[in-house]
Amino acid sequence: MLGGKRAFPVHSRGERGAPCGELKKEKGIHRLEAMLFALDLINKDPDLLPNVTLGARILDTCSRDTYALEQSLTFVQALIERDSTDVRCASGEQPIFAKPDKIIGVIGAAASSVSIMVANILRLFKIPQISYASTAPELSDNTRYDFFSRVVPPDSYQAQAMLDIVTAMGWNYVSTLASEGNYGESGVEAFVQISRETGGVCIAQSLKIPREPRPGEFDKIILRLLETPNARAVVMFANEDDIRRVLDAAKRNNQTGHFLWVGSDSWGSKISPVVQQESVAEGAITILPKRASIEAFDRYFKSRSLSNNRRNVWFAEFWEENFGCKLGMHGKRPGSPKKCTGLEKVGRDSTYEQEGKVQFVMDAVYAMAHALHRMHRDLCLGYPGLCPRMSNIDGKELLGYIRNVSFNGSKGCFFFPPATMNAMQWASGDASVPASVCSLPCQTGERKKVVKGVPCCWHCERCEGYHYQASEFTCQLCPYEQRPDQNRTGCQPIPIIKLEWYSPWAVAPVFIAILGILATTFVVVTFVRHNDTPIVRASGREMSYLLLTGIFLCYVITFPMIAAPGLAVCSFRRIFLGLGMCFSYAALLTKTNRIHRIFEQGKRSVAAPRFISPTSQLVIIFSLISVQLMGVFVWFVADPPHTVVDYGEQRTQDPENARGVLKCDISDLSLICSLGYSILLMVTCTVYAIKTRGVPETFNEAKPIGFTMYTTCIIWLAFIPIFFGTAQSAERMYIQTATLTVSLSLSASVSLGMLYMPKVYIIILHPEQNVPKRKRSFKAIVTAATMTNKLSQLASERPNGEVKTELCESVDNSTPSTKTTYVSYTNHAM
């Protein structure tokens, strides 16, 4: 008879020093009966080990590795020679020691930690071992555990399957929980290693359940898990007892529905861990190696009773536990009021579901049987029963036969229960998958700022300003001519604007310019119709028309300044921007300079100064204008006119308000240079106006010109701070264009109003004053000027009465008539 040893966790781990605890109905009794059932099938099979009977010596490991180690020593007792020299019988005869059955192979154990302990003993005696549930990757080390085999895949497969589940659920932030020992620690280590290599899943914390947990230890574990509340998913590599206690602690701490449990094969499809804790375990996902339910075992197990199953010494205890009754006064359930009748039936009077490792227990037994069968065939050569060569089986030789046994079907496949996401049932009752993530996904337009050392945790930072989300982790600056789109996932062109005719900034300048053009046209028409009248002739017709041309151009420039920029418009702006002022102030400068030279010359002699004829005056004016035109020509050659889009002028902090401004390529420096020459003429003209302020009122327009220049200077002094002070304003284009055009129009209006409107008034409303007067010689003009200078000096040196006397005398002697006289210097001979 061959003995097959099986180390079964029939009982759970004991507490308070006790080696064993309560009975394990599924993990213990189901698996034990699976081995006995497999032995029955093998012994009844005429084709498998004919005339050879397999037996079993079954020991309870009590789910404790140290206790299992003690039990495993009984397997090798038959192989140990005992020293009997010191032992004598009372009769003096030699003692006879009863040797235990010789064990040729071991089926088990269940827990990896127990298998490791047992394997270290069995390898010393070359006893092969086949486990049906130990999955620790460490046991794959053939150099250390060379006599160990198993019919289940290692935990690295489980770890990969659990990682696939976690990834499929979208959980990237999980905690791990392991029972202390090889199974739990190796499983978690494999999960952590694979998740680190694969990426995408971060471990919030890894906790370990001690072998001998103290009171309150599981409550502390739950509280530790709650320190990372976002890591709701908990990957568990723990034994059945620890799983039940963890669930109980979660329920006790009111955390039902918070944790998302992912259990390894130690949980699998077992009922015992979740009995009376269904609510806290709801939504748990557990895995098992791919298996098939053995229907023959179901029929066998349901047929077991107290009368036909006396070989299982723990079956009576199972009967009490399964049916909640008590077997006589020696029963194991002293507190149970119900008495067992022995007529109870498994599956009828109690719930029944085949335990997940039943198939693998039978596989392990059959693997040993097939190895022995092939060994018997090779060594015994048809000898019925055991031949002498198999009386002492070489364990190493048997191991070779075991390793050559193969099974049909895959042993490494895992499945995901259930098949689809929609079939999942969560504690919340919601069909959507609950989250277990460190950080929620960032919204569009936000980048992830990863927490150092925790790639699954990040802070979401919005791409601000002109930045857009270039990738999951970066924001980039849009090109200068673009801005982020509404979602900040890309860039779009910045809208381009220009000054529109309907804008309030354009309506007011255009209105003023139209009025000015109409007024200028009216003055020109009036002068042309009365071209030969004394007032027009006395005003200097040629210079008046030039001055009116400049005034007209100052009004007209408003329109190209507001029109949509283009090559033609930009060209007109360059040409006429300063040309109107140049025409106006060149004419006024020439006129004031002529008056100044005449009266300065009169102080020294009666000879007329040079270049005061109309032709000379026109030459001087056009010479001054030619300088402006020459500058414009050089500007055209050096930098041809073209349009640009200025994206900096209205580049606001909020990209939504950013605009590109279509404008002519005229910089502030170019503008200053264009207007600078005209302003220089204006300032020079003002200086001469100041110098000729003492000219008698009867001589031409010195004082109106002076008032014109003073007012014009005030206008342009106000223009400078307004124009350049708004350079940083978002409304720069509108303010500067309006300021420039209005300043030009006001300058033209001052000149038109002070120099020509009085004349038009007389021409139209008082024609009786527009009559020829007697001509005066240049000598009379100079004498009058000299007399005026003398009177000015006397006014500062004499009392008022004396001055008045001399003034009257001088006037009586030199001026026969006090009536206003219009004098045209152009009529005097040179």
Residue 392 binned pLDDT confidence (cut-offs 50, 70, 90): confident
Mean pLDDT across 713-736? 80
Q: 369 pLDDT exceeds 90? A: yes
Encode pLDDT of 760-783 as tens digits.
888 888 888 877 765 555 555 555
Gap between the Cα atoms of 221 and 209, Å rounded: 8
- Residue 425 CB coordination number (10 Å): 10
Q: Which residues contact 441 (CB under 8 A, 6 or more apart)?
A: none
The per-residue pLDDT for 324 is 85
Mean pLDDT across 398-415? 72
Q: 411 pLDDT exceeds 50? A: no
- Look at strands 233-237 and 260-263 and give their pairing: parallel
The per-residue pLDDT for 816 is 42
The per-residue pLDDT for 821 is 38
Q: How far is CA 261 from CA 217, 287, 334, 484, in A?
A: 19, 11, 36, 43
Mean pLDDT across 602-627? 77
The per-residue pLDDT for 822 is 39
Whole-number percent of the chain with pLDDT over 70: 83
**Cβ atoms of residues 126 and 398 within 8 Å:** no
Q: 605 pLDDT exceeds 70? A: no
Q: Which residue has the higher pLDDT, 630 or 610?
A: 630
Tally the residues of the chain: 830
What are the backbone angles phi and psi of residue 353, rounded to the nearest 5°? -150, 130
The per-residue pLDDT for 603 is 65
The per-residue pLDDT for 778 is 52
The per-residue pLDDT for 364 is 93
Q: Which residue has the higher pLDDT, 826 or 566?
A: 566
The per-residue pLDDT for 148 is 94
3-state secondary structure of 187: helix
Nearest to 742 by CA among 582, 569, 508: 508
Nearest to 589 by CA among 699, 692, 695: 692
Encode pLDDT of 459-474 as tens digits.
999 999 999 999 988 9
Residue with tokens 């008539």: 817
**Cβ atoms of residues 158 and 265 within 8 Å:** yes
**Cβ atoms of residues 494 and 483 within 8 Å:** yes
User: Across the chain, which distance is largest between two alpha carbons, in Å?
Assistant: 188
**Cβ atoms of residues 194 and 156 within 8 Å:** yes
Cis peptide before 178 (omega within 30 of 0): no
The per-residue pLDDT for 826 is 40
Q: How far is CA 500 from CA 556, 562, 740, in A?
A: 17, 7, 16
**Cβ atoms of residues 673 and 680 within 8 Å:** no
The per-residue pLDDT for 22 is 83
Residue 691 binned pLDDT confidence (cut-offs 50, 70, 90): confident
**Within 13 Å, how many C-alpha atoms sit on residue 830's CB side?**
9
Q: Which residues contact 299 (CB under 8 A, 6 or more apart)?
A: none
Q: Is the dihedral of CA 82, 83, 86, 91 positive or negative?
A: positive
**Cβ atoms of residues 427 and 283 within 8 Å:** yes
The per-residue pLDDT for 334 is 62
Could you tell me the pTM of the whole model? 0.58
Listed range (144-153, 508-517, 788-797) with the worst mean pLDDT: 788-797
The per-residue pLDDT for 98 is 64
User: Which burial class, exposed, middle or buried, applies to 167 when counting CB atoms under 10 A from its CB (0-12, 13-18, 19+)?
Assistant: middle
Q: 137 pLDDT exceeds 90? A: no
Mean pLDDT across 696-700? 55
Q: 366 pLDDT exceeds 80? A: yes
Residue 601 binned pLDDT confidence (cut-offs 50, 70, 90): low
* 799, two tokens: 């009392």
Gap between the Cα atoms of 513 and 340, Å rounded: 117
The per-residue pLDDT for 715 is 87
Q: 789 pLDDT exceeds 70? A: no
Q: 77 pLDDT exceeds 50? A: yes
Q: How many helices (H) and strands (E) would you count in the chain?
A: 25, 21
Listed range (88-102, 262-276, 289-303, 394-408) with the worst mean pLDDT: 88-102
Q: Which amino acid is at 727?
A: A
Residue 801 binned pLDDT confidence (cut-offs 50, 70, 90): very low
User: Which burial class, exposed, middle or buried, applies to 566 when counting CB atoms under 10 A from its CB (0-12, 13-18, 19+)?
Assistant: middle
Encode pLDDT of 505-522 as tens digits.
899 999 999 999 999 999
Q: What is the mean pLDDT of the chain?
A: 82
Q: 164 pLDDT exceeds 80? A: yes
* 572, two tokens: 């007109």
Gap between the Cα atoms of 465 and 449, Å rounded: 18
The per-residue pLDDT for 616 is 82
The per-residue pLDDT for 415 is 42
Encode pLDDT of 267-289 as tens digits.
988 888 888 889 999 989 998 88
The per-residue pLDDT for 95 is 72
3-state secondary structure of 475: strand
- Residue 589 CB coordination number (10 Å): 25
**DSSP type of residue 345:** -
Beta partners for residue 129, in sequence order: 106, 148
Mean pLDDT across 30-39? 93
The per-residue pLDDT for 299 is 94
Q: Which amino acid is at 496?
A: I
Residue with tokens 């640009």: 644
Q: Which amino acid is at 358?
A: V
Q: 716 pLDDT exceeds 90? A: no
Gap between the Cα atoms of 563 and 510, Å rounded: 11
Encode pLDDT of 639-655 as tens digits.
888 888 888 878 888 89
